[in-house]
Amino acid sequence: MKVSVYRKEHFNAAHRLYNPEWSDEKNQSVFGKCNNPSFHGHNYELVVKLVGEIDPETGYVYDMKVLSDLIKERVLKKFDHKNLNLDTDEFKKLNPTAENIAVVIWNILRKEIEEKYDLTVRLYETERNYVEYDGD
């Protein structure tokens, strides 16, 4: 019997969507106000979903305190209150779109969470806009 468990976290970060291979005009046309050279920020909501079997000894699919600590240590410390373009290695050469941020977070967590768990990262950039990545 597989059960899904979820941990929700929050972080704030600034970014600029920009492709250095394009002209300023094309960047502005594609990314609009998200291309602001002075950057802009979001209050991101991160939801991490794990799917697995219930451990008969603990009754847990996954210890949520362990998951919370893992997210805080590996993701929030790295991205919270940062300029993603300037302050993080992950986005020095990767456009920090919500899609790319979700994939980066998934890759960070996948290294730390056993493969027996299905992992999905859902990232809300705004209340109405979110992306989801499950490794496929």
pLDDT recorded at residue 11: 98
What is the pTM for the complete model shown?
Answer: 0.96
**Among 10, 40, 81, 114, the one annotated catalytic:** 81
Token digits of residue 57: 């000894």
pLDDT level of residue 2 (50, 70, 90 thresholds): very high
List pLDDT tens digits, range 15-70: 999 999 999 999 999 999 999 999 999 999 999 999 999 999 999 999 999 999 99
* Per-residue confidence (pLDDT) for residue 103, from 0 to 100: 98
Active site annotation includes 115: no
Distances from the Cα of 105 to the Cα of 27, 31, 78, 84, angstroms = 25, 22, 10, 13
Give the per-residue pLDDT at 64.
Answer: 98
Check if 42 is active-site: no
Strand partners for 40: 15
* Active-site residue, selected from the candidate residues 34, 90, 114, 115: 34
